[in-house]
Copies of this chain bind each other. A is one copy, B any other.
């Protein structure tokens, strides 16, 4: 099964079967590393890093070189082309005419999608702001798969900064797709964002349980750190474990403990030391707990203080293996997308853990913009040519998903294209919260950011406009 000429912007761009095929190829390649030197001979990979990331870049470049391919590389180019006002679409087209495949890291969320749209060659997202970093997810999954043979049914605890860590969002989707149970153990104030949870439950059929603090005895500092999926100071923790007894759940083994770094840049904003003090620390003491007896200790690196050096020699520590396995995984991915290798067609895709949804796309010119200031669609140089577009993922309440950065929008005003045909007095807009939302067919829907915007386009308020303040 050929994967040639495809791009990988999010982890969802590969099916489960494709991911497993990629893992088989990575196995094969890592077992005969010195025989791969002609696989991508004559092919060029452009690594375009608009943000520094030595580790990820070197991993990709090592992978392409191991395949016998060549690399052209632009590091920290933010100051160069952008200063001249160039759009990333133009950059993508030009780079796509030099190279056979592009690896892109960019601070703007959704940027990799734009590059993939314009490059004309396969594009791999090596991180686009807080959006996705799908090859990190592949390395994580690959490590779990290699150590445990399967992912289905495993209990994986995610710990630390679950709010900003982009790797953790992708990973949670992927784990859900493969049928793992996920236990969330965020640092207080750094819980999984609601939109990630929503995607987990709607698209990936997850059953979420939110536990409140376990009674008054559990105070800050008293509650044992091994209660991985809950802490008293963060009441709205979530777990995707099935609806069974909490007590039993607490005793069960954890298959993998995935810790993320406390980002210093976030910490500063969150107010001094609070976050730091409460932050998880994985050390020898913690790993003595019975439930961690066979636990894989995972971390995307670089680490700061959340992972003690004393556990580096512990056989459960997987983080350096995770990094090392990035090379064969990326080799496999590059070879597949370049069409130099194919995945063995190993049967049908298993969608039992994924709900296939084709959301309607909203692409109308009604002034509606993504509300994420870091979204690629909101950047001065990109506004000239990118037309915003959204998936309508929910009607009551109305929720849109930017197709570039996947940020959620909750617009307040709607109208229909049908009603005002002929009769101008019918050209009215309504509150998105009113019944009208359900009554307008998605393909007739017009959505506005504000009443001002609606009026600017010739619509008048209907009686279904609910105002917060009626002064």
Most buried by B among A54, A70, A81, A301: A54
With A37-B41, A65-B72, A70-B65 as contacts: A301 and B94 at CB distance below 8 Å = yes
**A221 beta carbon closer than 8 Å to chain B:** no
Per-position binary interface string of chain A over residues 41-59, scored 1 when its CB falls under 8 Å from any chain B CB and 0 otherwise = 1101010000011110111
Would B42 and A37 count as touching, CB distance under 8 A?
Answer: yes
Q: CA A99 – CA B37 in complex, angstroms?
A: 14
| A445 close to chain B: CB less than 8 A | no
The answer to whether A62 touches B327 (Cβ under 8 A) is: no
Q: How long is the Cα–Cα vector from A204 to B183 in the complex, in angstroms?
A: 63
| Contact between chains at A385 and B94 (CB < 8 Å) | no
A44 close to B66 (CB less than 8 A): yes
Closest to A46 in B: B58
Count this chain's copies in the assembly. Answer: 3
Judge whether B324 and A97 touch: CB under 8 Å: yes
Interface string of A300-341 (1 = CB under 8 A from B): 011110000100000000001001101100000000000000
Residues of B contacting A269 with CB < 8 Å?
none
Please name the residue on chain B nearest to A262 by beta carbon. Answer: B85
Known contacts: A37-B41, A324-B97. The answer to whether A62 contacts B72 by CB under 8 A is yes
The answer, yes or no, to whether A77 is at the interface (CB within 8 Å) is: yes
- B59 near A98 with CB under 8 A, answer yes
Interface centre among A58, A66, A79, A91 (most CB of B within 10 A): A58
Complexed CA–CA distance, A193 and B280 (Å): 47
Residue of A98, A264, A301 with highest tally of chain B CB at under 10 A:
A98
Mark each residue of chain A from 91 to 132: 1 if its CB lies under 8 Å from any CB of chain B, else 0. Answer: 101110111000000000000000000000000000000000
With an 8 A cutoff between CB atoms, is A61 at the interface?
yes
Decide if A5 is an interface residue (CB 8 Å cutoff). Answer: no
Residues of B within 8 A of A71 (CB): 65, 72
Query: In the assembly, what is the distance between CA of A235 and CA of B303, in Å?
Result: 52
A81 touches B55 (CB 8 A): yes
How far, in whole Å, are A90 and B309 apart by their CA atoms in the complex?
10
Interface string of A22-52 (1 = CB under 8 A from B): 0000000000001001000110101000001
CA distance A320 to B120 in the complex (A): 12
Is A249 part of the contact surface with B, judged by Cβ < 8 Å? no
**A384 interface contact, C-beta 8 A:** yes
Is A1 in the interface zone, CB < 8 Å from B?
Answer: no
Give chain B nearest CB distance to A123 CB in angstroms.
15
Q: Which of B53, B61, B79, B81 contacts A80 (CB 8 A)?
A: B53
Q: Please name all residues of chain B whose beta carbon is closer than 8 Å to the beta carbon of A55 when the two chains form the complex.
A: 81, 94
Assess the A42–B52 pair: CB atoms within 8 A. no
The verdict on A327 contacting B54 (CB below 8 Å), with A62-B72, A84-B304, A303-B86 known, is: no
Cβ contacts under 8 Å, A302 to chain B: 81, 84-86, 90-91
A456 adjacent to chain B (CB < 8 Å): no
Contact for A301 among B62, B90, B264, CB less than 8 A: B90
By the criterion CB–CB under 8 Å, are B79 and A52 in contact? yes
Q: How far is the CA of A413 from the CA of B54 in the complex (A)?
A: 44
| Choice from B52, B53, B320 contacting A93 with Cβ under 8 Å | B320
Flag whether A74 is at the interface (Cβ < 8 A).
yes
A79 to B52, CA, bound (A): 9
Q: Are A54 and B70 in contact (CB under 8 A)?
A: no
Interface string of A435-450 (1 = CB under 8 A from B): 0000000000000000
Can you identify 16 A-B contacts, CB atoms within 8 angstroms? A37-B41, A37-B42, A46-B62, A52-B79, A52-B80, A54-B74, A54-B81, A55-B94, A58-B99, A65-B71, A71-B72, A84-B261, A85-B264, A85-B302, A90-B301, A90-B303
A residues adjacent to B (C-beta < 8 A): 34, 37, 41-42, 44, 46, 52-55, 57-59, 61-62, 65-66, 70-75, 77, 79-81, 84-86, 90-91, 93-95, 97-99, 261, 264, 301-304, 309, 320, 323-324, 326-327, 384-385
New A-B contacts (17) at CB < 8 Å, excluding given A86-B303, A91-B302: A42-B66, A52-B77, A52-B79, A52-B80, A54-B81, A55-B94, A57-B74, A58-B74, A58-B95, A58-B98, A61-B72, A62-B98, A62-B99, A85-B304, A97-B323, A97-B324, A98-B327
Q: Which 9 A-B pairs have the closest CB atoms?
A: A97-B324, A86-B302, A65-B70, A62-B98, A52-B80, A309-B385, A85-B304, A61-B72, A94-B323
